[in-house]
Amino acid sequence: MAAALVASSTLVLAAAETEQPARDWLEKMANAGQALNYDGTFVYRNGDRMESMRIIHRAEPGNERERMVSLTGAPREVLRDNEKVTCILPDNQSVVVAKSRPRSVALRTFDPQEGFAEHYRLSSRSGERVAGRETMMVSVGAVDEFRYGYRLWLDRITGLLLKLELIGETNQALEQFVYTDIKLPVRIPDHLLEPAISGEGFTWYRDDLTKTTPEPESDDGWSVRWLPKGFEMSDRVYNPTGVSRMPVQHLVYSDGLASLSVFIERLDTAAERLEGRSRMGAINAYGSVIGSFQVTVVGEVPGVTVERVGKSVNRR
């Protein structure tokens, strides 16, 4: 019995010693993504869809500015600062301006919440070269079936995220993000952050950027009765894009790394109903109709997660 306790304690200590460097690297990654100037080209793959993008990021005191340009397909552009995000979509002649919100896993900062380590196993080791730079590889393994795992390759010098793989239930990479070229200039000139497409003549959709988000107690009776452990509400907005003809309530939940969205809108008789599961690469969705409302749960989480969350949504 004593020998078993000693062995168990040794394993726990070894795991803690392995996790701490990984935690330190993740914190370094979060700081690098916000505090550095960088100009790079990356390839993003989700299922069968692949695209190449250029990203230009400038860190300013109290603010960040960023411009992403699609290098394949339609010449789309996304501009972001601390206040708003502007999406210029020439393929459908539109511009969407909305409140700035957390970015995708590949580009957002890492925000571990209290108890984060209860839901992921962390480890780190030397990684392969990416875009000509030496890396450390951090493994973030899910401890349950309700979230995916991640493999992250971080620049050894700066901690900047250079490559990411989102790992599915059978240990396959469902999604991949990797830089093919990256520069870290001291200065990013203004003209590199200006759009090449003016949007003149396009249809503009604007969120009310001054509108405050209602507190949970002032909601209209909707509730999500089940979430995976560690997930908490991180954002709540109405008409998040301004494009839908029907009022949309958008609830965002996150465990600090993974996130999922719950969309609630009145049924549009002209739109097709979404019921049951659907999937596109790493993104799973579950739709249901509750009374006269369409409820859709979407996220980079397993299908079982969006379905269970979707079935727990109800209106008092």
Same CATH topology for 2-193 and 212-315: the answer is: no
Mention every residue, 6+ apart, whose C-beta is less than 8 A from residue 135.
126, 127, 128, 129, 153, 154, 155, 156, 162, 163
**So where are the chain's domains?**
2-193, 212-315
Please check whether residue 118 is in contact with residue 229, taking contact to mean a CB–CB distance below 8 angstroms. Answer: yes
- Alpha carbon distance 47, 59 (integer Å): 32
Instruction: Quote the pLDDT of residue 80.
Output: 93
Three-class SS of residue 125?
strand
Compute the C-alpha angle 92/97/101, nearest 5°. 120
Domain 2-193 in this protein, CATH class = mainly beta
pTM of the predicted model as reported, rounded to 2 decimal places: 0.81
Q: Report the chain (316 residues): mean pLDDT per 10 consecutive residues.
A: 44 46 89 92 90 94 91 92 91 87 53 67 95 96 93 96 91 92 96 91 76 49 92 78 62 88 86 87 92 93 96 90
Instruction: Quote the pLDDT of residue 83.
Output: 87
Give alpha helix (H) positions in 54-113.
Answer: none
Instruction: Quote the pLDDT of residue 274.
Output: 86
CATH: 3.40.720.10, 2.60.120.10, 3.40.50.1100, 3.30.200.100. Which one for 212-315?
3.30.200.100
Neighbours of 105 (CB within 10 A): 20
Stated as kind and residue range, the H or E segment containing 5 is helix 2-35
- Alpha carbon distance 163, 167 (integer Å): 13
DSSP result, 230-244: T-EEEEEEESSSS--
- Alpha carbon distance 119, 157 (integer Å): 28
Please check whether residue 299 is in contact with residue 305, taking contact to mean a CB–CB distance below 8 angstroms. Answer: yes
